[in-house]
């Protein structure tokens, strides 16, 4: 793979692939954290999220590069010392929440798109995520990068179709200039709980050689990750209240405006995105486990061990999935955001910056 692509594009593709999962990819998160704040208020909240993404990713990648901390355990030993396990505790619950949303969304996507029963979606999630974990890091990174291109092609087509159907409604919505109270907090919350993915994807930083690589990859990753939110928000703002209560708002819009083949393409793209979200997160978990095994003088898990870890985590998440995607996103994610603010964001901005300055490297 071309070095430029591996350094500047792959990190963003991997980070985005984890972000655009059950909540983001269906449009549910965008409504909860952006669109409900008004057309302009939603854009301001998105801008807050982008700024935090760029800052946190750049610092996280640079700390990972500088101290060769390519998994979240090693990374949080730098930030929290003996308290590194706090991230693992919060991370475990966030992982369960992520996979619960993923499983709920996967079942709903195939049911709404093709009329298939929920168990088929769950079976495919287990099988495909397990297969990617079996083949390991390089395959996971290549698949996530390729699917990111597919995702953007479908999202942009969706926006073009919506603009073609309701251009006056979109223009009128933004002309109101509506900004509802709480947009800054909402944008901050969205960035905080999603930033949990940054330490998990530190395995993408192995090719970074300079600070320029870390900062450039962080900013580009933030752009790649946030643009789908802009696309969805613009579309939803034009549709108004007719989609805000839907579990999968994107499908509601596609059915509303009879998008035909695009609905099928979106279903395939979204289901694939759910798979890569699971694979990307679990690759980070497997990297952490392998690192600790090496510290203990033992061999890494190997292909079947990595697959077993993936199956175990997804099996645990099945019970949480019964809560439903709307409640999981509205209540679970917002609560977790403040926990990660305390154990990740504050230490990163203080201890992390201090450690970088103390190391004395300027390149």
Question: Quick check: is 359 in a domain?
Answer: no
DSSP conformation class of 242? G
Q: What CA–CA distance (Å, rounded) separates 75 from 84?
A: 8
CB-neighbour burial class of residue 107 (10 A; exposed 0-12, middle 13-18, buried 19+)? buried
Query: What CATH number corresponds to the domain at position 197?
Result: 1.20.1740.10
* Residues whose CB falls within 8 Å of the CB of residue 333, separated by 6 or more in sequence, listed in order: 23, 29, 97, 189, 193
pLDDT score of 279: 75
Closest CA to 148 of 287, 329, 25, 314: 25
In-domain check, residue 362? no
User: Residue 306: inside a domain, yes or no?
Assistant: yes
Q: Does 41 fall in a domain?
A: yes
* 95 Cβ contact partners less than 8 Å away, ≥ 6 residues apart: 281, 285, 313, 317
CA distances in angstroms from 333 to 27, 90, 180, 340, listed in the order given: 15, 12, 21, 11
CB of 20 closer than 8 Å to CB of 204: no
302 φψ region: left (φ > 0), alpha (ψ -120 to 50), beta (else): left
**Is the backbone of residue 252 left (phi > 0), alpha (psi -120 to 50) or beta?**
alpha
248: containing domain: 3-354
Q: What are the structure tokens assigned to 145, written together?
A: 């990068």
CB contact set of 137 (below 8 Å; sequence gap of 6+): 203, 283, 287
Among all chains, which residue has been given the structure tokens 């291109």?
149
Please report whether residue 24 resides in a domain: yes
What's 343's DSSP letter?
Answer: I
Domain assignment present for residue 291? The answer is yes
pLDDT in tens, the chain (363 residues): 588 888 998 888 888 877 765 556 677 888 888 988 999 999 999 999 999 999 999 999 999 999 999 888 889 999 998 888 888 777 777 777 767 766 666 666 677 666 777 677 777 777 777 787 787 667 777 777 777 788 788 878 888 888 777 788 888 888 888 899 899 999 998 888 788 778 888 888 888 999 999 999 999 999 998 988 898 898 888 777 777 777 778 777 777 777 777 777 877 777 777 777 777 777 777 777 787 787 777 787 777 887 887 777 777 666 665 555 445 555 556 666 777 788 899 999 999 999 999 887 656
Query: What pLDDT sits at residue 332?
Result: 56
Please tell me the distance from the alpha carbon of residue 129 to that of residue 87, in angstroms, as a whole number.
Answer: 24
> Is 231 domain-assigned?
yes
Q: How many domains does the chain have?
A: 1
Reported as half-sphere exposure (CB side, CA atoms, 13 A), residue 99 has a value of 25
Identify the pLDDT of residue 223.
93
Residue recorded with tokens 């798109």: 113
Decide if 222 contacts 16 (C-beta within 8 A). no
Residue 70 CA from chain centroid, whole number:
18
3-state secondary structure of 300: coil
Q: What secondary structure does DSSP assign to 77-130, as a single string?
A: HHHHGGGGHHHHHHHHHHHHHHHHHHHHHHHHHHHHHH---HHHHHHHHHHHHH
129 found inside a domain: yes
Q: What pLDDT sits at residue 52? A: 95
């Amino acid at each position: 793979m071309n070095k430029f692509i591996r350094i500047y594009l792959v990190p963003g593709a991997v980070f985005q692939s984890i972000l655009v999962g059950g909540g983001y990819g269906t449009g549910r998160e965008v409504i909860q954290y952006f669109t409900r704040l008004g057309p302009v208020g939603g854009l301001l909240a998105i801008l807050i999220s982008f700024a935090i993404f760029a800052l946190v990713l750049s610092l996280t990648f640079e700390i990972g590069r500088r101290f060769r901390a390519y998994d979240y355990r090693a990374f949080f030993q730098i930030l929290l010392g003996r308290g590194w396990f706090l991230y693992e505790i919060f991370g475990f619950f966030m992982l369960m929440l992520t996979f619960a949303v993923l499983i709920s969304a996967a079942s709903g996507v195939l049911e709404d798109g093709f009329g298939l029963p929920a168990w088929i979606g769950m079976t495919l999630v287990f099988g495909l995520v397990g297969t990617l974990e079996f083949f390991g890091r390089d395959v996971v990174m290549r698949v996530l990068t390729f699917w990111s291109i597919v995702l953007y092609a479908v999202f942009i087509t969706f926006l073009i179709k919506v603009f073609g159907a309701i251009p006056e409604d979109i223009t009128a919505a933004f002309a109101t200039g509506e900004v509802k109270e709480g947009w800054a907090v909402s944008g901050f919350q969205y960035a905080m709980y999603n930033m949990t993915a940054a330490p998990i994807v530190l395995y993408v930083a192995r090719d970074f050689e300079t600070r320029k690589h870390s900062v450039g990859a962080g900013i580009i990753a933030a752009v790649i990750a946030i643009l789908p939110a802009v696309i969805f928000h613009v579309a939803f703002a034009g549709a108004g209240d007719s989609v805000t209560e839907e579990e999968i708002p994107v499908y509601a819009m596609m059915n509303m405006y009879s998008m035909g083949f695009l609905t099928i393409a979106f279903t395939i793209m979204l289901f694939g995105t759910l798979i890569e979200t699971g694979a990307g997160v679990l690759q980070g978990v497997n990297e952490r486990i392998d690192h600790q095994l090496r510290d203990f003088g033992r061999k890494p898990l190997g292909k079947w061990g990595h697959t077993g870890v993936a199956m175990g985590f997804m099996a645990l998440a099945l019970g949480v999935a019964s809560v439903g995607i709307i409640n999981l996103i509205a209540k679970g994610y917002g609560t977790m955001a403040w926990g990660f603010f305390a154990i990740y964001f504050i230490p990163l901005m203080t201890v992390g910056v201090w450690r970088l300055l103390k190391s004395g490297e300027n390149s």
